[in-house]
Amino acid sequence: MKNVYFDNAATTQMREEVITSITEVMRENYGNPSSSHSFGRSSKVLIEQSRKTIAQCLNVSAGEIVFTSGGTEADNLVLRSAVRDLGITHIITSKIEHHAVLHTIEQLKKEYDITISYVRLGTKGDIDYLHLETLLQAKGKALVSLMHINNEIGNILDIQHVANLCKANNALFHSDAVQSIGHYNMDLQEIQVDFLAASAHKFHGPKGVGFAFVRKNSGLLPLIFGGEQERGFRAGTESVHNIIGIEAALKSAYYHLNKEVEYIKDLKRYFIDEIINNIPKVTFNGNSDDLNKSTYTLVNICLPIPPKKAAMLLFQLDLKGIACSKGSACQSGSSQNSHVLTEILSDADLQKPSIRFSFSIYNTKEEVDYVVNVLKEFIE
């Protein structure tokens, strides 16, 4: 039995150079960054250098990067403060966003009685940009929250177009970019998004650290209060080793980007071809089989298996050493269908098993062959 990890959209294996950087800092730089002595100052210098490196990767100023515990906290920071402090009364989003956005917005509606509008979706889960433009013309101060890359079906948002629409209508724009930072070049001087969320463990960094991009003079206020860390944006002693880890991971991701994109894209093409050739009647969810309209890192397939047999699929794959998922890892304990697929699939297709396979530089075509053969045998 092989061990095949095809669940990189859930989390990724850390790069060796990231582990080395983290270990060195844990051993040598243990001072509290808020302390005034030399031990503290050396830790503080490392944090600020990391902030500058990340800012350079995105072409923004260092003061616009706020370290958080991950993408969920970054989303919460932006959305809650936008309503609480910036006077947002209308949030425009979609029903296929990550729950870090959807559940936060639902809670904000209970607390502040804001208006929530959901932009229409096409049959493949694409955003209806004309409908978005119409929603932006409604009364009230608006914020648009749309993810750059969908974590389940891989659809790519035209983030530049949405940013332009928001600017033209005096609305703020927040994007959960957890699946795109580290995988796509993003120049935030060209893309006028106001707020953005990222998480290190999606691009071969450590878990428990991410950042929010907060465009300067936005007026955003803290979510967590206490000390003056992160320029007052986020109280609490900084996790120095994790911050060094996210810096190292992002540097490596962008240094190797072109080469690694081509490798993973070729792997995805091969996976699609092999699935089509070996499993008749397989279909692809969203745009995940279109390399121009979806991320190169994942494929979401709907398999021609009856419901009773489908219930055993993930269990059988796990027995064969194959790691994949039926949706977001954050809802893996739920017995309900993926909220993303529920919005775009027919009732008949929802009865069939849908599986997300997501790839990284550590995967191979031999692993693809193994997975396709296991699926073929199970179906037959």
Mean residue pLDDT of the chain comes to 95
Q: What is residue 221's predicted lDDT score, i.e. its pLDDT? A: 92
CA pair distance 24, 55, nearest whole angstrom? 23
Q: What is residue 231's predicted lDDT score, i.e. its pLDDT? A: 86
Q: Containing H/E element for 117?
A: strand 115-118
| CA distances in angstroms from 307 to 197, 198, 275, 312, 320, listed in the order given | 37, 36, 20, 9, 21
Residues identified as active-site: 330
Query: Nearest Cα to 194, choosing from 223, 159, 222?
Result: 159
**Residue spans per domain, the chain:** 4-12+256-379, 16-255
Low-confidence residues of the chain, pLDDT below 70? 1, 327-336
Q: Which two tokens stand for residue 279?
A: 């499993």
| Bridge pairing between strands 195-199 and 172-176 | parallel
Q: Where does 4-12+256-379 sit in CATH, by number?
A: 3.90.1150.10
Q: What is residue 308's predicted lDDT score, i.e. its pLDDT? A: 84
Q: Which residues contact 327 (CB under 8 A, 6 or more apart)?
A: 152, 338, 340, 341, 354, 356
Query: Tens digits of per-residue pLDDT, 13-27?
Result: 999 999 999 999 999
CA pair distance 151, 327, nearest whole angstrom? 8
Q: What is residue 335's predicted lDDT score, i.e. its pLDDT? A: 52
Query: Quick check: do 4-12+256-379 and 16-255 share a fold?
Result: no
CA pair distance 358, 264, nearest whole angstrom? 10
The pair phi, psi for residue 288, each rounded to 5°, is: -65, -15
CA pair distance 332, 27, nearest whole angstrom? 35
CATH 3.40.50.300 fits 16-255, yes or no: no
Q: What is residue 327's predicted lDDT score, i.e. its pLDDT? A: 62
